[in-house]
């Protein structure tokens, strides 16, 4: 969908009768009974149904691939080779093809392992660092590994197309969910690879910055994301506790991290004296990163208030509109476009004109 938003003509190949599995992943559904999950990632695509076990449909899929700039597939490694749609076969017919394969655990020893986001969050360590220290491991509230893999794949595809622009040569782009997650663990991973420190769950606290977590106020919670000593001094001034910024236990970030529990004991009683929205406004004026915990509706409303225009409406062919979150990339010359709503599943096979 990212590539489609940026102008690519995308044909989505689905199974006859049932289509993409996410079409049935609900509730919630829209007013037409269609799963909102599917619609989240399928705008600007055209859908066709092909049975890749059928020789005629195989031939049609191959004809499409032989004309395409990019092919993206997430089958079990080796399966498309059986259908004449593997990388080597298509490269011979279309040397400029960028062939992107997304798997769960790669094409080697993990080739037969099923790749589902929750499973990879567990096996890849993300759940071990998510949640309260004294509670069970938690998954992230969205399919983050799938999203990371898609974004990494998009970057790889664009790099491969840039290479092809220079010499006409296509190539294989490979992503697997486990590697995408490890790449997305950034500082948590480098704690282990460099310092041999295995990170653990810390709730909302940050292993390397303080105060950088959730605090109770008089009527709810407030996030403080203090990233430097100036911000900490400003926080202390707003709280009427300027002496904390000069305390040798708290005067630098390393000291605040070392004494994070003592710092919390100093900050939270003061924060409980006023409501969260009042603190958020006072801290904003002092240029201290702070804010309340919004639900998704409130988050969309905030983006609207800030002029970010977070939602786009796309007309359906059968009438009515579907509302989806805007592509976050803003380009001055070639902005994202929203040409077609997520496709309905075709009732029958059809010849593709492209």
Q: Which of 20, 57, 117, 146 is catalytic?
A: 146
Residue 146 falls in the annotated catalytic set: yes
Alpha-carbon distance of 243 to 36, in angstroms, equals 52
- Those residues whose C-beta lies under 8 Å from the C-beta of residue 168, and which sit 6 or more positions away, are 95, 96
Q: Using N-to-C axis directions, what is the helix angle for 276-285 and 229-238, rounded to 10°?
A: 130
Specify burial of residue 167 (Cβ count, 10 A radius: 0-12, 13-18, 19+). exposed
What are the Cα distances from residue 159, in Å, to 87, 155, 172, 184, 344?
A: 18, 6, 11, 19, 31
Q: Which tokens hold the place of 211?
A: 């105060």
Give the phi and the psi of residue 215 in degrees, each rounded to 5. Answer: -130, 145
Give the phi and the psi of residue 128 in degrees, each rounded to 5. Answer: -70, -20
* Cβ pair 86, 80 in contact under 8 A: yes
Q: Which tokens hold the place of 312?
A: 């786009």
Alpha-carbon distance of 287 to 231, in angstroms, equals 7
Q: Using N-to-C axis directions, what is the helix angle for 177-184 and 144-167, rounded to 10°?
A: 100
Catalytic residues: 146
């Amino acid at each position: 969908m990212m590539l489609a938003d940026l102008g690519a003509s995308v044909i989505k190949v689905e199974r006859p009768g049932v289509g993409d599995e996410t079409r049935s992943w609900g509730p919630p559904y829209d007013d037409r009974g269609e799963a909102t999950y599917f619609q989240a990632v399928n705008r600007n695509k055209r859908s066709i149904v092909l049975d890749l076990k059928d020789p005629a449909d195989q031939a049609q899929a191959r004809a499409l691939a032989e004309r395409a700039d990019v092919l993206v597939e997430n089958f079990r490694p080796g399966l498309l080779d059986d259908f004449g749609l593997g990388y080597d076969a298509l490269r011979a017919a279309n040397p400029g093809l960028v062939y992107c394969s997304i798997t769960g655990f790669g094409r080697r020893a993990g080739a037969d392992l099923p790749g589902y986001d929750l499973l990879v969050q567990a096996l890849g360590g993300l759940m071990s660092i998510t949640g309260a220290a004294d509670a069970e491991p938690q998954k992230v509230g969205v399919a983050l590994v799938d999203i990371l893999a898609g974004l990494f794949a998009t970057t790889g595809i664009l790099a491969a197309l840039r290479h092809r622009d220079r010499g006409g040569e296509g190539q294989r782009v490979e992503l697997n969910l486990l590697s995408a997650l490890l790449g997305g663990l950034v500082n948590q991973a480098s704690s282990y690879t460099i310092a041999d420190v295995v990170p653990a769950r810390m709730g909302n606290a940050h292993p390397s910055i303080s105060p950088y977590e959730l605090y109770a106020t008089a009527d709810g919670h407030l996030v403080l994301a203090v990233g430097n000593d100036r911000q900490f001094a400003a926080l202390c001034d707003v709280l009427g506790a300027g002496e904390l910024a000069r305390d040798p236990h708290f005067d630098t970030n390393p000291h605040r991290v070392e004494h994070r529990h003592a710092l919390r004991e100093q900050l939270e009683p003061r924060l409980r004296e006023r409501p969260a929205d009042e603190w958020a406004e006072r801290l904003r004026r002092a240029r201290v990163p702070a804010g309340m915990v919004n639900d998704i509706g409130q988050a969309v409303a905030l983006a609207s208030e800030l002029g970010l225009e977070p939602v786009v409406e796309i007309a359906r062919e059968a009438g009515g509109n579907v509302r989806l979150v805007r592509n976050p990339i803003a380009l001055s010359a070639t902005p994202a476009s929203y040409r077609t709503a997520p496709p309905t599943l075709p009732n029958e096979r059809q010849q593709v004109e492209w």
